A and B are shown apart, each in its own frame.
Chain A
Amino acid sequence: MSTASLSTEQAPPISVPLRFFAIAPLFLILAALIAMMGDSIADAHTPALLAATHCVTLGFIGMIMFGAMQQILPVVIGSPMPSSRLVAWFSLLPLIFGTLSLSGGFLLSNSALLHLASVLLGLAFLVFIVASLISLARAATRNATATAILLAVLALTAAVVLGIVLAQGYASGLQLDYRKLAAAHISLALGGWVMLLIVGVSYQVVPMFQLTPNYPKWLSAALAPALFAALLLYLASNFFEVLPLGFVAEGLFWLCASCFALVTLNLQFQRRRRVTDATLNFFRLGMISLLCAALCAVAALLAPAQEYFRTLSVVIFILGFALSVIHGMLYKIIPFLVWFHLFRGGVKKGVPNMKEVIPEPWMWRHLWLHITTLLAALMAFFWDAAAWLLIVGLSLQGMLLSFAIFISIMVYRRTYQRLAKV
């Protein structure tokens, strides 16, 4: 047995994460195209914006997280997902077509498409959630990351169930309390799944990428359970309509989130590796955005009549926090994967190093484009013309990321074929 096969014992084949990463940016472009049909960004409940938002959250964020989890679990908890290729196909395909039919269902108010979306997305998430839980159950280590990921997956499960209930309700014209259900769905998906997953993974990758000190032990042990508890408290207050409890829950959630952002920024400030790269700035932008999202959420609590504070908080959370951190991660993970899968073969000569996969200037351009898009999103609340800038920015970002992933795949293929000939 060659030693090369041992490394594959843990890591999935490169095609597994890359197929998710290659498709995800197309959904950013699609989201921009759909958003062009909407009236105003300030009203997130128009069919076009509902469709565009789900293209970003399911088609982009969900898609990237599906791929990244396959890659990250073996490293951070020492346990790969079972049957990675099978899980990849059975989560990727239904996620693609489920997101498309959901968006189509919203846009055309078509109940058949919404029913189809429920089935497809239900399947995609069922496969992904079961595979993640198996991986967690087999984890060699019970650390704070494993806890955070477990809580994230639990929140995701509830978010998916509520999402399906909502889609079925729309499709069949049921009399449901949509406002309440949607609020619970959004907080579980964003505050639960996205937030907890980023927290858990950050414990490992923030120190890893920049050689920062570790997160303080008390913080990493308490943060994810506290966020989860705040979320449960919020859901209870939402369900039973106990307003003061909701205040406390939201306050606690955003306090924990801000604490995470500040500690992360502080750790990065103390980094031993002084080199500043685009990915570090993507991460810092993400943390600053999380603080801004918290401020807007607190403003929404204090001035409930001003509806736009709440929408603003969600927009900053998705575009500023989640998307920035995701881009920062991708620009590290993709070049590493290309190098890793080429280098473990017998021939080492001529394998491109990480900086020879995606040219660094493109990462910086993407960072600036992302900042511009984010600012446009904020201005779009007050100035309609900025919505166009947001739409153009979002589609350019999708194209730029597609380009970066395309050249990564080309570098991999070309080198692989050349090495095979040696």
Chain B
Amino acid sequence: MNTIAESMSTDHRACDLTFALAEQAALDNNWNDAETAFDTFRQNIQRHFRMEEEVLFPALLDAGGPAGPVQVMHMEHAQMNELIELMATAVANKNTQGYGGLSETLLIVMQQHNLKEEQILYPIADRILAAELETMFSRMQAIQ
């Protein structure tokens, strides 16, 4: 991976894939698969959030990056986490209707959030953190 934009966007796509699998299984009332896919999705996306919140965003701010957009990204992470917890309850209760509605909602929040990161924030990060990309990658990979 050459840039933060490429690497993190690829990570977004990987999260999307498990998201779609979980949604399909839940709507098919296939709760075993839904639970597995949902757990993977939750782990992946929360790791992605931590990579940003613990490594990328602080580095961006230290290097003089824009504080406003970073704060908005933080807030959207919190929103998504709340939706994800509601979805976990829907999975536990095998509530197809509830899961479908929440999943539809999360999809839009998540996609427009990704769009803002991929088109605005990551390119800024690539520019102002150009000298320390290697360190950034290894620190982000170390996040569990």
Interface residues of A in 329-356 (CB under 8 A from B): 332, 336, 339-340, 343-344, 348, 352-356
- Within the complex, what minimum Cβ distance (angstroms) separates B27 from chain A? 6
Q: A353 and B105: CB pair below 8 A?
A: yes
A356: nearest residue on chain B (CB-CB)? B101
Name B72's contact: one of A6, A140, A204, A356 (CB within 8 Å). A6
Q: A353 and B115: CB pair below 8 A?
A: no
Judged by a CB distance under 8 angstroms, whether B36 is at the interface is no
Judged by a CB distance under 8 angstroms, whether B55 is at the interface is no
Binds B, one of A48-56, A253-261, A267-275, A388-396: A267-275
Judged by a CB distance under 8 angstroms, whether A3 is at the interface is yes
Q: A75 and B71: CB pair below 8 A?
A: no
Q: B116 and A75: CB pair below 8 A?
A: yes
B110: nearest residue on chain A (CB-CB)? A208
Residues in B with CB closer than 8 Å to A42 are: none
Name B108's contact: one of A6, A272, A275, A354 (CB within 8 Å). A354
Interface residues as binary, A199-239 with B (CB distance below 8 Å gives 1, 0 otherwise): 00000100111010000000000000000000000000000
Residues in A with CB closer than 8 Å to B82 are: 343, 348
Q: B119 and A353: CB pair below 8 A?
A: no
Q: A141 and B112: CB pair below 8 A?
A: no
Residues in A with CB closer than 8 Å to B75 are: 3, 6-7
Judged by a CB distance under 8 angstroms, whether A169 is at the interface is no
Judged by a CB distance under 8 angstroms, whether A10 is at the interface is yes
Judged by a CB distance under 8 angstroms, whether A13 is at the interface is no
Judged by a CB distance under 8 angstroms, whether B140 is at the interface is no
Residues in A with CB closer than 8 Å to B76 are: 7
Judged by a CB distance under 8 angstroms, whether B24 is at the interface is yes
Judged by a CB distance under 8 angstroms, whether A306 is at the interface is no
Q: A272 and B16: CB pair below 8 A?
A: yes
Task: Tell me what chain B mostly uses at the interface: helix, strand, loop, or mixed.
Answer: helix
| Given A272-B20, A273-B23, A275-B24, residue A143 in contact with residue B119 (CB < 8 A) | yes
| Given A348-B82, A354-B105, A355-B100, residue A78 in contact with residue B120 (CB < 8 A) | yes
Judged by a CB distance under 8 angstroms, whether B68 is at the interface is yes
- Within the complex, what minimum Cβ distance (angstroms) separates B140 from chain A? 23
Contact residues on B (Cβ < 8 Å of other chain), bracket: 20 to 34
- Within the complex, what minimum Cβ distance (angstroms) separates B123 from chain A? 8
| Given A9-B68, A208-B108, A354-B104, residue A274 in contact with residue B24 (CB < 8 A) | yes
Judged by a CB distance under 8 angstroms, whether B43 is at the interface is no
Q: A6 and B116: CB pair below 8 A?
A: no
Q: B115 and A208: CB pair below 8 A?
A: yes
Q: A204 and B101: CB pair below 8 A?
A: no
Q: B79 and A204: CB pair below 8 A?
A: no
| Given A344-B79, A354-B108, A355-B100, residue A275 in contact with residue B119 (CB < 8 A) | no
Judged by a CB distance under 8 angstroms, whether A194 is at the interface is no
Residues in A with CB closer than 8 Å to B120 are: 78, 140-141
| Given A141-B119, A208-B115, residue A6 in contact with residue B17 (CB < 8 A) | no
Q: Which 8 A-B pairs have the closest CB atoms?
A: A355-B101, A353-B101, A208-B111, A354-B105, A272-B20, A273-B20, A354-B104, A353-B105
Contacts A3-B74, A141-B120, A355-B100 known; list 18 others, CB within 8 Å: A6-B68, A7-B75, A7-B76, A75-B116, A207-B111, A208-B108, A208-B111, A211-B19, A211-B107, A275-B23, A332-B108, A336-B108, A343-B79, A353-B101, A353-B105, A354-B108, A355-B104, A356-B101
Show 27 residue pairs from A and B whose CB-CB distance is below 8 angstroms, ordered by the A residue: A3-B74, A6-B68, A9-B68, A10-B72, A75-B115, A78-B116, A140-B119, A140-B120, A141-B119, A143-B119, A208-B107, A208-B108, A209-B108, A211-B20, A272-B17, A273-B20, A273-B107, A274-B20, A275-B100, A336-B108, A340-B109, A343-B82, A348-B82, A353-B104, A354-B101, A354-B104, A354-B105
A-contacting residues of B (Cβ < 8 Å)?
16-17, 19-20, 23-24, 27, 68, 71-72, 74-76, 78-79, 82, 97-98, 100-102, 104-105, 107-109, 111-112, 115-116, 119-120, 123
